[in-house]
Structure 1
Amino acid sequence: MTSETKRTDPVTAGTETEPNELRNLIKGARVVLWDFDGPVCRLFAGHSAERVANDLASWLEGRGLRGLLTETERESLDPHVVLRALDRRHPGSDLVAELEERLTHEELRATASAMPTPYADPLIRTWTAVGSRLAIATNNSPRVVREYLTSRGLVPCFAPHIYGRTQELNHLKPDPHCVNRALNAMGAAPSASLMIGDTPSDLFAARAAGVPFLGYARTERKGKLLRDAGATVVVDSLKPVLWQVRH
């Protein structure tokens, strides 16, 4: 059993004050913005993100562009790092557009084996049922998000508010562009919204947009990264969030 399935009481990871802080975050949220890969599902659960990053790097090398990536970027094992690195050096180029499309294709392949985050589906449905409005704000392709949500019957909980990666890669989080797009489209006040994310870039984007932030950390390492970045409320399961929304 995982730590998510073992947990039975509505508590959060971390300090004793967090249950009250979690309750306050949820109580004040009229609009809930979700990062996709992590809080909603593990997109690359059965389709290695590391392999995808290596394949993208190899594709660049095959075009004589090995020197374009630093060793750190090459070894990051994160497809978005490779994509951003190319965009910084060749912004708006056909090369960037082709690499972005290759990543989208890999993400679409990954949806077939994506693993739902424990308690995410019932939390999404419950939050919708109690009258909150939901949106996706992600660095993944919106095509990928729609395909996954369709497979889970969750599109009505979010549509049309799915804001993901465009070919303007300077707008990827930690830039708040997708967060601000969601807020503007929904006519939402940042202070009456909530962002759920699992990386420091999610936190920084929310902070830049003035939106309260709830960290989701599936592992201790992710939790430490979020706390070190300044996240004050971090849960290791969405179960206590679901409990708070239901009560």
Structure 2
Amino acid sequence: MTVETENEQHRILTLIKGARVVLWDFDGPICRLFAGHSADGVASDLVSWLEGRGLHGLLTDRERESLDPQVVLRAVDRRHPGSDLVAELEERLTHEELRAATSAMPTPYADPLIRTWSAVGSRLAITTNNSPRVVRKYLESRGLVGCFAPHIYGRTQELRHLKPDPHCLVRALNATGTAPADALMIGDAPSDREAATRAGVPFLGYARNSRKAKLLKEAGAGDVVESLEPVLELLRG
């Protein structure tokens, strides 16, 4: 074991010990939501739906080509905040996320880590840009909803509150009566890290590949793991 690895383990152990509440992002650390239902296809369908209503010019070329349904939704909300158009587009995205939940792939070691963290007395919450209906459906399918309920904080009609805005983290902290320094967020995107920083919450990055790890580190994440296994081992130890 190198000194660097020992230092990394010590830092992660410190994060674990200090966490009265663990705030989980959903798509990434808990599962790959679109593993069997392409997010690219969902984004393309949303773009086509807009174009079918004569709204081709509502998106820039970059937004149309992003292949990220969240990018499409946010772009429309910026131009027509709080509109019926945004509400309908959000509902269409939620419908696709619900379909995706049936074929989502569990993140390795996430299930036992969640159960272990819950068993040792830490409180758990979901803080995500996905629909809370989708989160609940997936967690119920894995027998995990009891580890989190009622603390599932996801996308609302107020899309300006999506991460990197810390709104969902603050809701979780307030609901559990937890000081930011006594929490820990696990996320896989730079927006998660920014939201945690803005909320004053310590952050542990999860990256399922080196590309995602690089993005997190470039965003300033100091502690990033490419597997949840060492986190589980430290928690059990």
Q: Same fold (TM over 0.5)?
A: yes
Tell me the equivalent position of 2:120.
130
Tell me the equivalent position of 2:214.
224
* Distance in 1 separating the partners of 2:163 and 2:14: 25
* Distance in 2 separating the partners of 1:106 and 1:177: 24
Could you give the per-residue CA deviations for residues 27-49 of structure 1, whole angstroms, max 9, x where no partner exists?
Answer: 11110000000000000000000
* Distance in 1 separating the partners of 2:57 and 2:209: 34
Q: TM-score scaled by structure 2?
A: 0.97
CA RMSD of aligned residues (A): 1.3
1:162 aligned onto 2:152: yes
Tell me the equivalent position of 1:88.
78
Query: Which residue of 200, 203, 208 maps to 1:213?
Result: 203
Could you give the per-residue CA deviations for residues 71-102 of structure 1, whole angstroms, max 9, x where no partner exists?
Answer: 11111111100000000000000000000000
Aligned structure 1 segments of 4 or more residues deviating by more than 6 angstroms: none
1:184 aligned onto 2:141: no
* Distance in 1 separating the partners of 2:207 and 2:61: 27
Tell me the equivalent position of 1:238.
228
Query: Which residue of 179, 184, 187 maps to 1:194?
Result: 184
SS of the residue 1:29 aligns to: coil
SS of the residue 1:125 aligns to: helix
Unaligned runs of 5+ in 1: 1-8
Q: Which amino acid aligns with 1:89?
A: R
Tell me the equivalent position of 1:204.
194
Deviation of residue 18 (structure 1)? 1.3
Q: TM-score scaled by structure 1?
A: 0.94
Deviation of residue 17 (structure 1)? 2.5
The count of aligned residue pairs is 236
Tell me the equivalent position of 2:19.
29
After superposition, where does 1:97-136 map in structure 2 within 5 Å?
A: 97-136=87-126
SS of the residue 1:113 aligns to: coil
Task: Give % identity.
Answer: 78
Q: Which amino acid aligns with 1:70?
A: T
1:19 aligned onto 2:9: yes
* Distance in 2 separating the partners of 1:217 and 1:26: 18
* Distance in 1 separating the partners of 2:47 and 2:172: 32
* Distance in 1 separating the partners of 2:191 and 2:62: 18
* Distance in 2 separating the partners of 1:43 and 1:107: 8
* Distance in 1 separating the partners of 2:133 and 2:112: 23
SS of the residue 1:196 aligns to: strand
Tell me the equivalent position of 1:6.
none
